[in-house]
Amino acid sequence: MPEIMANTNHGKYPILIRTGALAQLGDVAGKTVRSRKAFVVTDSIVEGLYLEQAKKSLEGSGFEVASYVVESGEASKCEKNLFAIYGAMHDFGMTRSDLVIALGGGVVGDLTGFAAATYMRGCPLIQVPTTLLAQVDSSIGGKTGIDMPFGKNLVGAFYQPKAVVIDPGLLKSLSRTRMAEGMAEVIKYGCIRDAMLFEAIEKGQADMEWMLQRCVKIKTTVVQNDEFDTGERMLLNFGHTWGHAIEKVSGYSRYTHGEAVAIGMIKACEIGEKLGQTPKGVKERILNVLEKWHLPTSTDLPVEDLYQTMLSDKKKLNGKVYFVVIKEIGDSKTQPLSEQELKDLL
Ligand SMILES: NC(=O)c1ccc[n+]([C@@H]2O[C@H](COP(=O)([O-])OP(=O)(O)OC[C@H]3O[C@@H](n4cnc5c(N)ncnc54)[C@H](O)[C@@H]3O)[C@@H](O)[C@H]2O)c1
Ligand SMILES: [Zn+2]
């Protein structure tokens, strides 16, 4: 199976999607850097599941390996861990030609990516995403960063990896809730860009490796056209305008990101219908698929709070709130809405 090549302003990199790919990490790393030092960051859950296998593969290709383990969970995406990682890299004698590997979900990917972007002004990085969300979303596109006490993802960098190694076999150990969370993003890709993907999910016939390829292809293409997130990349925000407000209003605890996005996709369909942009029937199809994955499709959070939260984010976007609406399954557009338009629609 051919690799997908991602093209960025900072060169090309391969994305390998294959069951069993973790065992090939050493090979990929060997082709990526000349140095033979690899620093692996992972979290406390993934450590027990896959760190040994990753190390074995790297050592088999002649790498000297050190690892650093953060606690599993969003709270680990913090400056304390970032600085601890810099320290551990220094103790390992890392130079800027040595390799950094992020082995984990989006938390490890974002944190490690930012460490790699900034340690000695940048070391080569390989992403090995282990959650479905990380495999289809966070490991691709080069966004890295940490959370700050005053908000999520507020400090970071665009930093492209040298390679991404995606092993669908690693998803076997994921909980059903985490799988569903990633599926919300997979369904999103189908809705915005890929009717065939959506139909396969609808029929329950989609093979995971095939689905990952479709999603990664969409993300790399969209990112390629808009590396610094000023235009087309906005389409990836389908369901996220309302979804982010839900996460914020509910204090990031009641819903997973994917659940909030699922509710947000349905809200975006309702808005699209009211605007005459989303044809009747589209919302029902999306709703059916989300329900199959036991994802929520509505919330009892107060509309007024969600509205105010969206407005407080709007200053980033010239006074308008942007919703992505579906023109038909597989085709979408961004729709700017003024404060008043949004109020009327809600
Ligand atoms: N950089 C981007 O473009 C981008 C995009 C979307 C999300 N994100 C970020 O990603 C983060 C969320 O990512 P996530 O959902 O992967 O969270 P996560 O990294 O916290 O992983 C979720 C949970 O699954 C566990 N886990 C990981 N792999 C596993 C496996 N194979 N088997 C069993 N358990 C496993 C983790 O230990 C954790 O408890 C957020 O911080 C978000 O801001 C970044
Ligand atoms: Zn998302």
Q: Which atom of ligand 1 is nearest to the CA of 72?
A: 37
Minimum-distance ligand to the CA of 106? 1
Question: For residues 236 and 225, is the Cβ–Cβ distance under 8 A?
Answer: no
Correct CATH for 176-345 of 3.90.1150.10, 1.20.1090.10, 3.30.1490.20, 3.40.50.300 = 1.20.1090.10
Contact 249 CB / ligand 1 (< 6 Å): no
Q: How far is the CA of 343 from the centre of ligand 1 (A)?
A: 34
With tokens 């995606």, the residue in question is 166
3-class SS of residue 158:
strand
Report helix angle 257-274 to 240-249, nearest 10. Answer: 130
Q: How far is the CA of 138 from the centre of ligand 2 (A)?
A: 8
At 315 the pLDDT is 56
Contact 261 CB / ligand 1 (< 6 Å): no
CA–CA separation, 76 vs 97, rounded Å?
A: 26
224's tokens: 């390629």
pLDDT of 156-178, one tens digit each? 999 999 999 999 999 999 999 99
Closest C-alpha residue for ligand 1 atom 9: 106
Please give the C-alpha separations between residue 56 and each of 26, 27, 50, 64, in angstroms, as whole numbers: 8, 11, 10, 10
Average pLDDT of 317-332? 91
CA–CA separation, 303 vs 48, rounded Å?
A: 42
Sequence length of the chain is 346
Whole-model pTM: value is 0.95
Q: Is 40 exposed, middle or buried (0-12, 13-18, 19+ CB in 10 A)?
A: buried
What's the fold here for domain 4-173? Rossmann fold (3.40.50)
- Adjacent-strand bridge partners of 321: 337
Question: For residues 309 and 248, is the Cβ–Cβ distance under 8 A?
Answer: yes
CA–CA separation, 25 vs 170, rounded Å?
A: 13
Q: How far is the CA of 31 from the centre of ligand 2 (A)?
A: 31
Segments making up each domain of the chain, as ranges: 4-173, 176-345
Q: How far is the CA of 97 from the centre of ligand 2 (A)?
A: 32
pLDDT grade for 305, boundaries at 50, 70 and 90? very high
pLDDT grade for 316, boundaries at 50, 70 and 90? low
Closest C-alpha residue for ligand 1 atom 30: 174
Contact 107 CB / ligand 1 (< 6 Å): yes
Q: What is 55-87 written as a DSSP string?
A: HHHHHHTT-EEEEEEEPSSGGGSSHHHHHHHHH
168's tokens: 């669908």
Contact 46 CB / ligand 1 (< 6 Å): yes
Q: Which atom of ligand 1 is nearest to the CA of 134?
A: 16
321's tokens: 């709130």
